Structure 1
Amino acid sequence: MQAMDVMTREVTTVGPQTTVQDAQRVITARAVAALPVVDADGQLVGIVGEGDLLRDQVPPDPRLHLGRDVASPRPRPRVVADVMTTPVRTVGHHDDLSDVATLLVEGRLRSVPVMANGAMVGILGRRDLLGTLIRTDESVRAEVLDLLERYTGERDTFDVEVLSGATTVARTRGTPAVSPATEHRALDSLARTVPGVRAVVVRSSDDLPHREEAS
């Protein structure tokens, strides 16, 4: 699977001059881990997360410090530009999801913007990745079957079985338009693009008649 297969496409953003308080409201209302920061031209210039928006925002309780010298609190950050992280770690929309998972875990990142041709096209977080691990076998099966039928234009032709994400695909009728080896590779590649598919086995169709590919 690639980043674009599971990323969130509708991205909530803020600007550098958005107040910290407004950003706190947005990130809470949207229940997201981070907000990309874009300038007036829509260009990605930073990212602000929950931790950034908490920085220097919670004053100490004076009742716990009576009779002690307490340093004066630092001025609170006023706008997002004061607390955002820049430069931003990003991934490409065709990046392997396995590599993205490694980046999020080893980089201790909650989410990363997804880029295509220099523009942000989505955002991908740990929650998106976890979502691919908890899909039901039936929902995975239905999506794989729909994908195969739409790609080949053939209905009631393939049998798909899914058990704990392990997916088996087999042609049950019809004549392959290409060689069995070519169809095998195509079915395997297509099935692996579906979130929740952990392994793929394509049953051989060598015993089915097929038309030779044009040279």
Structure 2
Amino acid sequence: MRRASISRQTAETEISVDINLDGTGAYDNQTGVGFFDHMLDQLARHSLIDMTISAKGDYHIDDHHTVEDTGIALGQALSAALGDKRGIRRYGECHLPMDDAQVRCALDLSGRPFLVWNVDLPTAKIGTFDTELVREFFQAFSTHGGITLHVDQLHGLNSHHIAEAAFKAVARALRQAVESDPRKGDAIPSTKGTL
């Protein structure tokens, strides 16, 4: 099975991530940041990637390091679990509505990290969560996961709905991209022969 475990410890955070790409979307995410845990739960459930994340951070400063370092560790785990990417579909996309919000995601597990982020969260906070951290998470995740990731908000008024639609759209696109393609067998999905 395609699994990976990553531990990351710095002076600011302690993060552990366990994932199974061939899971059912089971999750146990405990970062100490409530809204972020809710978003990680959505990422697991809608990607069908089993995900267990434990994090401790310097919350007395803010949640930035915890969220960013979780993105780093999760990206590293994804990359490790994919290995040489033989037989995967590689690409994924999703248009996802959530009430007033609609977010489009297109991604490529290319090994060439790049984030295009056209999302405008209209409030600075969702509860106590800084909304700018949504982008910070996806920047870290795409960079360390080797993902070309495009996320575009098409509609939306409510910050919670927009953020959740973004996480779910990425999850659904990721689900497609990591799936094994029975027509490819164990071929690497690139004319270069490597990703």
TM-score category of the 2 structures, normalised to the smaller one: under 0.3
TM-score (norm 2): 0.26
Q: Which has the larger radius of gyration?
A: 1
TM-score (norm 1): 0.24
Q: Structure with the greater relative contact order (CA < 8 A, sep ≥ 6): 1 or 2?
A: 2
